[in-house]
Structure 1
Amino acid sequence: MRIPGTIIGSAIGDAMGAPFEGTHFLSSIPEKMVSGGPFSVRKGEYTDDTLQMIALAETLVTCRGFSRIDFIRRLLAIQQLHPEYFGPTSSKVLERIRCGIPPETASQHPPGGGRTNGAVMRGAPIGIFYRPENVLMVSREAAATTHPHPVAVACSGFVNLMVSVLCRGGSREQAFFHALKTCDNDEVRKRLALLSQAPLIPSLDALDTTHAAVTCWMEEPNFKSMIVRVICLGGDTDTIAAICGALGGAFFGISGIPGDWIHELEGAGSLLALEEKVWSFGEQ
């Protein structure tokens, strides 16, 4: 088993990518934690990508499984503290819930739900907690909390299913092809099957994000090179690197993550402890 590594791998991707968010294609980046970016993050500080992932992990531990009510309560608390971090879809949905609109109705904004990447970036704890046969059902419910669009839901399930297979000893190829085989969204399945044969677009779109993260994870030899490659794409660097980091952490384990990155990450010890709880309370 390759535990822990998923949650801290995602947080490291987030913290590494945040200072470069919104940039265009980069030829190289510093291979260490730095500060700066549009949110003026500190060196080693993560953003709402990790905060939302922590909220989901804590829901799974506290409720011994997914609870939409508990998860929404945690998201509302995080948004109140860090409103500047939240993306357009989650912000609108949570504000509508805060105004008393039922969650099922609030998430249908815009009509059909947002297709941005918020549900994909936070979902990795589902893959740690649940066995592969149960991941897609729970991923669908968790994603639909804020992002019920079919593409966003399918992308979240795709990543979470790969995490589940990897955490239980599967290879990269086993995880990827299992997720590909079980994906029921034609647009998502056809695009992700192409990997680097299709252009990597680092946008806020759930499918663009997932395609970039999965491709870099599949094609790079180690955790460091996959994170560096993702960030060099520019665009939504923190989110794409967070997703890639979750996959990399699940596959390479804690020993495969550069030690200096772990040392410089804020709250690394707490994240490791949280991941151990998610795993121990989960289905293994």
Structure 2
Amino acid sequence: MAWILIVFLILLGGLIAPFGDILGTKIGKARFSILKLRPKKTATIITIFTGGFISSISIGLLILASEEFRQRLFVDIPFLQKTLDESKKALIPLQEERKELEGKIIQKEKELNQLKNNIKEFRRGNIVIKRGQTLFIAEVDSSSNLKLDLTEIFNEADKFVRKIVIPNNKQARNILLWRPSDIKKIETVAASGGNWVLLIKSATNVLKGDNYVFVSPDLLENKFIVKKGDIITSSILEASDLNSKSINLKIKSLLRETRDEIKSKGSQVSEINTSGNFVKKIRDFLKENQNIKFKLEVVSLRDSKTIEPIVVEINILKIAV
């Protein structure tokens, strides 16, 4: 059927095309004019209309004779257009994800370049201070002479860092370098009142023997992180946990959660101090109490501020069923 239709359209076009050409020639010779156009242009327009007529008849015959053509023209094409529009909408979040991914790649490239620089520095010599390392911590009281306090802190920090970087050079002075704007910012914040902690951190990796150490000061509020008797974290012991291995794993996990918790509250200590042989205490307790649920609690034994040690004990309690 399709081949017959194609042959028919070819023959129809072949028959109508000469007719249009003859019609255009006769109209040109007859000097016929439409809309006050020149006869030659009129003949051209007639020829164009004849070509359009051929195309219209061809499409009409295809629509009438071919169900597949009708399906493609009136169903498939609108469906494809709708699908294309939906695909474009679905592409928008993918483009955003791509931008986000490109941003992460750029960040990773920066980190890689920094790592390469660190490796170069390692090859050049011994790194004695790492980037971001806290070099000195001191309390700042806003009620006292801030400028004098900051000067004394700077001198003490400089003295401490010199012993690390250039221990054999007794004559060196002021190897710490920080921006005046940082000092001004610290003075402004501390002058607002309250009790503060000043952290002096290294802005770069420092090799042994370097003449200067660039630092970045950070001012934190000296607040209570925990108070005596506070329950910092807790965990439930099920019947399946009542063996030495599970108990040890549970305690390690609980102490790790405790460290994360105090960090989130602003504590600057890196480790937690424990008091007493709580492991033995827990085991002795479990020997006397079986087949019930228990609760482990990490309890603070003292008031601790931002830079003060965190001292805890772990208590075990029965849970009423």
Band of TM-score, shorter chain: under 0.3
**Structure richer in strand, relative to its length:** 2
Task: Give TM-score, length-normalised by structure 1.
Answer: 0.23
Structure whose alpha-carbon radius of gyration is higher:
2
Higher helix share: 1
